[in-house]
Structure 1
């Protein structure tokens, strides 16, 4: 079972992403912000994070940095998904430790294929 966490302050975005990537061999956790995501991730291993940038309490950049600093999370894959589409935002995401960057609105087929390739399975 692969563990995925969708981190976004918008419920509709979390529901959309969950619908796109759900499958029988994936457990999906949700969090509204980086603080909640980090607390949950430290209790159970996460294979893949889908992270928004603009969130209250702790933004996606800071969450990604925290993930990379923690031994138990360091090897998790992080996909940043944001409305911020400037090249500087993408570069900052990678500097923060993101493995991939996608702009909203996300192409559902691209997200499905990317997640399947990362996890080594198909939806």
Structure 2
């Protein structure tokens, strides 16, 4: 089966869209970065390096320094797809991130987004 087009897209090309979505709803780039760090382990300089390299999504998630074991707690619908049912690993990680950014844009508290309940 062919890879979904987004898997080969640069993470850096989509990252500004995540930030814009959050900022339009009164949230911040720092909160987007905090979500990415929680999900993948890429924080600060490591995230900047991935953006600068224009790493594709598949590589971005495959080489994530510290994937959060609690990411399996992410449930719900995003883009009409139930994230917990996505079988392809890279697409599941992308949907996890999409879901967390959606929750941020909807005004959910960071503690709840980061599954610290």
Query: Shorter-chain-normalised TM-score: which range?
Result: 0.3 to 0.5
Which protein has greater RCO, CA pairs closer than 8 Å, 6+ apart? 2
Query: Structure 1 length as normaliser, TM-score?
Result: 0.35
Q: In proportion to residue count, which structure has more helix?
A: 2
